[in-house]
């Protein structure tokens, strides 16, 4: 029978994967790639939205920039890369494995994606995470990408803490 910490970890990890997938799909694969490798383009596209409010690329860029609080910095780029790895890992879609991906650094990145995202989330989004954990977040006040970003990061923190506590048994 699974312990309480195992159940909490598994449930939060499942919500994390779903949130990561929803975040990536809500801002689009192209915008997700650009957030990691060309954030200036995403920010420029977001600023161009008023000139062409029906352009889906500009809408996706604007949602991504809003999810990050108005600008995309290095820590958020690493967080997005972590979310993509989590979505592709055995925890998610299973497209990459924990071992045998070719290079040891790739294996380690996949293996430690959840703790890395949890640490980044704890440092950068602690107020929003506490809103989620305490049940104080007003989800209707934010767009889907922002909600998926915050929920995914909150669940990474919960999953990380549960894994740590489970390991102490």
2-23: average pLDDT: 90
The most confident of the ranges 40-44, 70-74, 103-107 is 40-44
Residues in the chain: 169
**pLDDT single digits (tens) 93-140:** 877 776 776 777 777 887 888 888 899 899 888 899 999 999 999 999
Q: Which two tokens stand for residue 73?
A: 């910095």
pLDDT in the model for residue 101 = 65
Considering only residues 101 and 163, tell me which one the structure prediction assigns the higher pLDDT.
163
Q: How many C-beta neighbours within 10 Å does residue 154 have?
A: 26
> What is the distance between the alpha carbons of residues 145 and 149, in angstroms, rounded to a whole number?
6
The pLDDT score that the predictor gives to residue 167 is: 66
Examine the pLDDT at 169 and tell me if it is beyond 70: no
pLDDT on residue 149: 94
Taking all residues of the chain, what is their mean pLDDT, rounded to a whole number?
89
pLDDT at 23: 94
pLDDT at 5: 85
pTM of the model: 0.86
Structure confidence at residue 111 (pLDDT): 80
**Which tokens hold the place of 154?**
């909150």
Alpha carbon of residue 129 to chain centroid = 12
Among 8-17, 36-45, 56-65, 98-107, the least confident range: 98-107
Q: Chain centroid to CA 118: how far?
A: 9
């Amino acid at each position: 029978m699974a312990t309480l910490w195992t159940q909490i970890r598994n449930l939060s990890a499942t919500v994390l994967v779903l949130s990561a997938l929803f975040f990536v799909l809500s801002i689009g694969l192209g915008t997700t790639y650009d957030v990691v490798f060309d954030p200036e383009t995403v920010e420029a596209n977001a600023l161009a939205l008023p000139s062409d409010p029906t352009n889906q690329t500009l809408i996706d860029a604007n949602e991504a920039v809003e999810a990050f609080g108005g600008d995309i910095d290095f820590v958020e780029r690493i967080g997005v890369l972590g979310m993509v790895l989590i979505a592709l890992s055995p925890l998610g879609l299973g497209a990459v494995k924990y071992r045998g991906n070719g290079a040891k650094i790739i294996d380690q990145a996949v293996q430690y994606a959840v703790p890395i995202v949890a640490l980044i989330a704890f440092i950068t989004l602690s107020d929003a995470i506490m809103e989620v954990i305490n049940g104080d977040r007003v989800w209707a006040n934010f767009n889907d990408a922002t909600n998926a970003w915050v929920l995914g990061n909150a669940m990474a923190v919960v999953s990380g803490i549960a894994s740590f506590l489970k390991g102490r048994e």
